[in-house]
């Protein structure tokens, strides 16, 4: 019993000293990567562990990105994309997670790699920001280990310091952006600035940073060098590996950037061929800048990256993000109207893209109808219905499908018109809700995204008849919009 007391006292002392070191380095002016590496080292030593890893959650909250590490091999760190909902998923719920045997526990995403690297026990806790998980910190041991409450308490304290470090890094990245607020933002300080994604990556070459910026513009999620593929072995050891530059989760595609130097291109092609022989399920492409622009065009982000985005300040929601949200809305609607027939009504022309995608995802019988409207009356615009629904909606379950709702005046008028025909029910589904401009509090039953007070185009939304065919939703350059009436 005395030995146990001495051990506890010693651990508390070492934890106190470690927290002093960690707090000091967290408040230093060095880079995020160096801060997190130093925190990981102090944490591992204090807990007498073999390794420590600090991870941040990506913007889609789907993948974990390493921002600091100590004591773990490159092969283990780059074993593959670390999915947040597959790798110790309970940590995202704010819980401490203990893994007694990493090689057999189903909560470990890559148990075979843990076995190969001799990792036995793992303890992980969340890094919380504003009550939500924004990252994780994990401890690894080679010998089977039980962790005490003091161990967990110490690791939670370190995680709290990491949360402050993450928030400060994001603020620093935001301030470093060449960001010039529009006149509208200067007059409306309540509109929050665009939140950055924590990107601790140091790129090996400027072309990789340019490539990442292009991906960010199109809101294409990316992971930098998440996996190393062993290609050749000698004497039971790995003699050659290939680490592609990027992984694009939405396309399930690895990208290796190339140059025009023939000797480098030849070597990379050899590695790519070898990789395909050993890992035929892996999709990988060697790309230069022109190749990538062509790839964008193939997946609907082009053509060639410039013609369709002229005048776009930035992409607000990518095509993949829109499709995910449409599927979520469709599941909710299908559940709420199970066993019933639904009539979808939309106002031409902006709703066409959203209506087409939404109805394909609904798992119930639907009919379609469209209306058309015009405005007149100068500043105090009055809505006039120029085309009414063709079929009777009396006794029907009607869903008013909107591309965007801002002031609510037009929608309120249309709902009043439809209600006069005595439908069995009348609800509203809108892709975008610009609540900052609301004048009439119309009921919205299903909302895709709540957006800031910006002029958006794409995915059916236009500016002077253009931009409807963009596969994403983008924000138009402020200087192009002067004196435009709200939608």
- Domain 316-480: state its class: alpha beta
Q: Each residue of 319-342: pLDDT tens digit? A: 888 998 999 999 999 999 999 999
Q: Residues 303-318: pLDDT tens digits?
A: 434 444 678 888 888 8
Query: Considering 252, 406, 433, 441, which one is annotated as catalytic?
Result: 406
In angstroms, what CA-CA distances link 244 with 187, 204, 247? 46, 12, 8
- The mean pLDDT value for 204-217 works out to 80
**Which band of pLDDT confidence, cut at 50, 70 and 90, is reported for residue 4?**
very low
**Of all residues in the chain, what percent carry a pLDDT higher than 70?**
84
CB half-sphere exposure, 462, CA atoms < 13 A:
11
Confidence category of residue 393, pLDDT binned at 50, 70, 90: very high
pLDDT of 484? 52
Q: What is the pLDDT of residue 480?
A: 74
Burial class (CB in 10 A: 0-12, 13-18, 19+), 5: exposed
Band (pLDDT 50/70/90 cuts) for residue 296 is low
Q: Is 338 helix (H, G, I), strand (E, B) or coil?
A: coil
Closest listed residue to residue 352, CA positions, set 389, 317, 400, 403:
403
User: Mean pLDDT, to the nearest integer, of 44-73?
Assistant: 91
> Would you list the domain boundaries of the chain?
2-176, 203-306, 316-480
Kindly report whether the global pTM for this prediction surpasses the value 0.85. no
Per-residue model confidence (pLDDT) at position 353: 95
Question: Quick one: pLDDT band at residue 213, thresholds 50, 70, 90?
Answer: confident
What percentage of the chain reaches a pLDDT higher than 90? 55
Write down the residue that tokens 């053509």 correspond to: 303
pLDDT, tens digit, 9 for 90 and up, residues 106-133: 999 999 999 989 999 999 999 998 888 9
CB 422 within 8 A of CB 449: no
- Catalytic residue at 406? yes
pLDDT-wise least confident of 309-313, 318-322, 421-425, 456-460 = 309-313
- pLDDT at residue 303, as a whole number: 42
Architecture in CATH for domain 203-306: 3-Layer(aba) Sandwich (3.40)
CATH architecture, domain 2-176: 2-Layer Sandwich (3.30)
> Is the pLDDT score of 194 beyond 50?
no
**Rounded to whole angstroms, what are the CA distances from 123 to 72, 106, 383?**
15, 15, 61
pLDDT digits over 228-242, tens only?
Answer: 999 999 988 889 999
């Amino acid at each position: 019993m005395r030995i146990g007391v001495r051990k506890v006292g010693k651990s508390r002392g070492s934890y106190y000293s470690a927290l002093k070191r960690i707090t000091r380095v967290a408040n230093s002016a060095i880079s995020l990567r160096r801060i997190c590496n130093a925190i990981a080292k102090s944490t591992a030593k204090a807990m007498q562990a073999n390794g420590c890893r600090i991870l941040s959650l990506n913007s889609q909250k789907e993948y974990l990105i390493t921002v600091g590490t100590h004591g773990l091999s490159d092969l283990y760190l780059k074993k593959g994309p670390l999915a947040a909902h597959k790798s110790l998923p309970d940590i995202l719920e704010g819980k401490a997670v203990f893994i007694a045997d990493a090689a057999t526990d189903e909560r470990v995403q890559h148990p075979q790699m843990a076995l190969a690297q001799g990792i036995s026990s793992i303890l992980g806790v969340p890094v919380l920001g504003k009550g939500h998980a924004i990252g994780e910190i994990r401890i690894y041991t080679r010998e089977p280990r039980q962790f005490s409450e003091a161990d967990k308490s110490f690791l939670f304290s370190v995680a709290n310091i990491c949360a402050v470090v993450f928030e400060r890094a994001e603020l620093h990245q935001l301030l470093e952006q060449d960001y010039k607020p529009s006149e509208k933002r200067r007059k409306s300080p309540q509109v929050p600035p665009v939140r950055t994604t924590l990107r601790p990556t140091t790129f090996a070459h400027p072309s990789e940073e340019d490539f990442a910026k292009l991906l960010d513009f199109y809101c294409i999620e990316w992971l930098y060098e998440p996996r190393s593929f062993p290609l050749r072995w000698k004497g039971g050891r790995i003699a050659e590996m290939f680490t592609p530059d990027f992984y694009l989760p939405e396309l399930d595609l690895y990208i290796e950037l190339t140059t025009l130097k023939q000797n480098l291109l030849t070597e990379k092609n050899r590695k790519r061929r070898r990789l395909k022989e050993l890992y035929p399920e892996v999709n990988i492409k060697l790309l230069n800048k022109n190749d990538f622009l062509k790839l964008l065009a193939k997946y609907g982000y082009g053509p060639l990256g410039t013609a369709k985005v002229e005048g776009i300040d930035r992409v607000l929601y990518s095509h993949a993000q829109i499709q995910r949200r449409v599927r979520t809305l469709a599941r909710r609607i299908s559940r709420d109207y199970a066993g019933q027939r639904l009539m979808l009504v939309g106002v031409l022309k902006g709703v066409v893209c959203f209506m087409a995608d939404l109805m394909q995802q609904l798992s119930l019988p639907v009919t379609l109808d469209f209306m058309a409207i015009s405005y007149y009356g100068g500043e105090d615009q009055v809505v006039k219905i120029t085309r009414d629904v063709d079929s009777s909606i009396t006794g029907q379950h009607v869903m008013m499908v909107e591309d965007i709702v801002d002031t609510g005046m037009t929608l309120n008028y249309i709902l009043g018109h439809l209600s006069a025909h005595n439908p069995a029910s009348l609800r509203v589904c809108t892709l975008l809700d610009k609540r900052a401009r609301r004048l009439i509090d119309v009921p919205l039953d299903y909302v895709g995204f709540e957006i800031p007070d910006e002029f958006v185009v794409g995915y059916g939304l236009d500016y002077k008849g253009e931009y409807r065919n963009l596969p994403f939703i983008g924000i138009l350059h402020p200087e192009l919009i002067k004196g435009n009436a709200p939608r």
